[in-house]
Amino acid sequence: MKYHRPISRCWTLFVNVAISIVSETTMTSELDNLRVYGETEVGWDENTPPNEKLDDKGNVIPANDLHREDPFAPSRRIYDDPEVEALRERLRQNNGMCGLDIFDPNEIEEINRTFHRDGFVVVRDLLDEEQLHRFREGCARVLKELLSIPGPGNRKYMTETGRLPHRYSYGTASSSRHLMHDPVWASMVDLPTTTPILTALMGNDEYYVWGGGGDLCLPGAIEYQQLHADFKDTQKNGKVRLDFLRATGLIDVDTDKSFEELDFPTKRLVFDQTPPTITINFLMSDLTWENGPIRQIPGTHTMSQNPPTLAEEADWMRWSTLVGATAGSGVFRDNRAWHSATPNLSKEIRSLPNLEYVPSWTDDQTLLKSMPYEVWETLTPNGQKICRAITEGPGVWPEGAGTMHPLASKRIWTKKRHADE
């Protein structure tokens, strides 16, 4: 008869502590070598269930149909799981928009036409080697701060409040909602390649910087994000937008008619041709069929209806990604257009830091102060002009700037503490 010695509590505690030490050591090694391009050890946390979301305090939101964003996601977050392999093969065969146009920065007319037709446009070589290196270093530094916070239970990472696992926003994870306090992001607002394009898209050079952040997905982000627009156009300020179009010559409208006197198609054209926000997402790595390329649905920037759910959308929408765009390129996006993140089944982080701009007809009093005066002073003269509305006064630190956390409650607490000081 065999005798089985019961495992003591001390031994159990020892094992748990040992596992914890090994886990922390592994995490430290991962983060020490963190970069946002090329192969990485970061990601693929099999202890984080598919579609799991956390509330503002970090509690797991109970799984039900309302919170299961991608009903077709693999059931396990494991690189070589059969369901992951099957999805990987479908991506290999289908992923990538057919006939995607990619322009050089000097092709202003073609860029402008494509942007207003499709609601987005891809432009190569926006960043030179030094700028790309600096942006990569900045993205890795901020991401390391986010990933250093462990998740609940045995999960490697704390998922950002309300987001799918292994996906983070550089903007919303900041207590100020932007990263304009960071010299890296601030230094990219006025580039020789982007400023002429923005001037053409906006109709003049009197636009403003609204903010900056961006998004990323780790390897193992197995779910599709639902198609969405960053916001809906309320289609207000018709007179202001019409006056802007007339002044810039972007469309030819009868000068004797007020906005109220225009026919319905012309009113729609006024709104269609005046995007309230334009975002540039910069690529830190090539977008491949496997590493979670952003997807864009052409022409949806002028649509008022809601996008379909993942269960409702057509297959072609799943494959409408910007595969083929290379590191250093950028995507100019009308924020009204439908877009989303896609599965990252690779071993590479897909990082898309961004800068956000609004046209001159925007009420600059509505823009958040997110840039310190001391950072503003380092900008080019044009950079200072377009950032003036988001810059704090000398010696005043923007509320919440500099604090990153995946959980909304922690960000709110930081802002409240700042306000009380």
Asked if 184 contacts 137 with a C-beta cutoff of 8 angstroms, the reply is yes
pLDDT at 66: 53
> DSSP string of 53-92?
-B-TTSPBPPPSTTT---TTS-SS--TT-HHHHHHHHHHH
Give me the residues paired with residue 354 across strands: 213, 281
φ, ψ for residue 12 (rounded to 5)? -60, -45
On the question of pLDDT at 14 being above 50, the answer is: no
- Residues 219-238 have a mean pLDDT of 94
Instruction: Place 23 in a pLDDT band, splitting at 50, 70 and 90.
Output: very low
On the question of pLDDT at 7 being above 70, the answer is: no
On the question of pLDDT at 1 being above 80, the answer is: no
Instruction: Place 254 in a pLDDT band, splitting at 50, 70 and 90.
Output: confident
How many other C-beta atoms lie within 10 A of the C-beta of residue 20? 12
The pLDDT tens digits for 160-214 are: 999 999 999 999 999 999 999 999 999 999 999 999 999 999 999 999 999 999 9
Instruction: Place 9 in a pLDDT band, splitting at 50, 70 and 90.
Output: very low
pLDDT at 5: 39
How many other C-beta atoms lie within 10 A of the C-beta of residue 15? 11
The pLDDT tens digits for 201-211 are: 999 999 999 99
The answer to whether the Cα torsion of 254, 257, 259, 262 is positive or negative is negative
Spatial distance between the Cα atoms of 342 and 290, rounded to a whole number of angstroms: 9
The pLDDT tens digits for 88-143 are: 999 999 999 999 999 999 999 999 999 999 999 999 999 999 999 999 999 999 99
Asked if 200 contacts 107 with a C-beta cutoff of 8 angstroms, the reply is no
> What percentage of the chain exceeds 70 in pLDDT?
90
Give me the residues paired with residue 168 across strands: 216
pLDDT at 25: 47
> What percentage of the chain exceeds 90 in pLDDT?
82
Residues 6+ apart with CB under 8 A from 196: 105, 108
Question: Where is pLDDT greater, at 92 or 15?
Answer: 92
How many other C-beta atoms lie within 10 A of the C-beta of residue 378? 11
Instruction: Place 420 in a pLDDT band, splitting at 50, 70 and 90.
Output: low
- Residues 63-70 have a mean pLDDT of 69
Asked if 310 contacts 69 with a C-beta cutoff of 8 angstroms, the reply is yes
Closest alpha carbon to 175 in 362, 397, 421, 335: 397
- Residues 60-88 have a mean pLDDT of 89
Q: Is 103 exposed, middle or buried (0-12, 13-18, 19+ CB in 10 A)?
A: buried
DSSP state for residue 371 in the 8-state scheme: B
> DSSP string of 329-362?
-EEEEETTS-EE---B-SSB-EEEEEEEEE-TTS
pLDDT at 75: 97
On the question of pLDDT at 317 being above 80, the answer is: yes
pLDDT at 222: 99
Q: What distance separates the 2 farthest-apart alpha carbons in the chain?
A: 103
Place of tokens 């600096």: 134
On the question of pLDDT at 419 being above 70, the answer is: no
Asked if 157 contacts 45 with a C-beta cutoff of 8 angstroms, the reply is yes
- Residues 309-335 have a mean pLDDT of 98
- What is the overall mean pLDDT for the chain? 91
**3-state SS, residue 415:** helix
Question: Where is pLDDT greater, at 421 or 286?
Answer: 286
On the question of pLDDT at 24 being above 60, the answer is: no
On the question of pLDDT at 224 being above 60, the answer is: yes
Spatial distance between the Cα atoms of 33 and 338, rounded to a whole number of angstroms: 35
On the question of pLDDT at 392 being above 80, the answer is: yes
Q: Which domains does the chain have, with CATH numbers?
A: 9-224+276-420 (2.60.120.620), 234-273 (no CATH)
Q: Is 259 exposed, middle or buried (0-12, 13-18, 19+ CB in 10 A)?
A: middle
Give me the residues paired with residue 100 across strands: none
Instruction: Place 344 in a pLDDT band, splitting at 50, 70 and 90.
Output: very high
